[in-house]
Amino acid sequence: MKYLPEVFRANARWANDVCKADPDFFARLAGLQDPDYLWIGCSDSRVPANQITGMQPGEVFVHRNIANVVVHTDLNCLSVMQYAIDVLQVSHIIVCGHYGCGGVRAALEGAPLGLIDNWLRHIQDVRDRHSDFLAALPDSTARWRALCELNVLDQVRNVARTTLVGDAWKRQQPLLLHAWIYGLEDGLLQDLQGSLSRDDDVDASLAHAVAKLRGRYLKT
């Protein structure tokens, strides 16, 4: 028995359409992987990196997990980063979160869910560091949106503090980190102004980005 035949039919249609539009597309794709971007994003099925950036297969290297978390003991994420930095020589690492993130909401509310609670603890640490700010927001929706943004900025800090990025910067390898967030409601990306290009401005740059975030929400 062949399972999920509709998926195979859709795949065949897609491959046929691509070949009609560009007969050499798959030959080029098979011959070289040369992306300029590493995307660290959420596993949410509504946030596919290539589609929302308008990029083709082969143009972006992707790592995804629940709530786009970067943990210094996560060998999966670190292995992806090392390959992207050392082998593919990407110039940009993008941490992209999204509004309406279920992982962030679960971390914000703190209801027990099982094994995933251990993963969400990393986001709860972000929540706890900004508890006074979050408590000052008018409602749960605002707190949820703000924590989605704060989580992205915190994960960019974690990326910057890896030995992989630190070593790349020490050897003067061009590498720019970005903090982005995606809106499910409008399909648009926003830059959270947390970009980093060298080791000595990590804390100051991200503190400035957090201050701007707080100002937007508190209108100060």
Q: Which helix (H) or strand (E) segment is 182 a member of?
A: strand 176-182
Q: Which of 64, 77, 96, 98 is catalytic?
A: 98
Establish whether 19 is a catalytic residue. no
- From the list 101, 122, 145, 154, the catalytic residue is 101
The verdict on whether 46 is a catalytic residue reads yes
Give the full edge-to-edge strand order of the sheet including 37-42.
60-65, 37-42, 92-98, 176-182, 189-191
CA 105-109-113 angle, to 5 degrees, is: 85
Catalytic residue among 42, 77, 96, 148: 42
Q: Does 44 qualify as catalytic in the annotation?
A: yes
**Position 169: which residue type?**
W
Continuous segment of H or E residues that includes residue 92: strand 92-98
Are 25 and 18 spatial neighbours (Cβ–Cβ below 8 Å)? yes
Q: Which of 44, 96, 145, 157 is catalytic?
A: 44
Which residues 6+ apart lie within 8 Å of 77 measured at CB?
A: 40, 63, 65, 70, 71
Active site residue 101: yes
Helices (H), 63-185: 75-82, 102-109, 116-129, 131-135, 140-160, 163-170
Radius of gyration of the chain, Cα coordinates, nearest whole angstrom = 19
Catalytic residue among 9, 13, 46, 216: 46
As annotated, the active-site residues are: 42, 44, 46, 98, 101
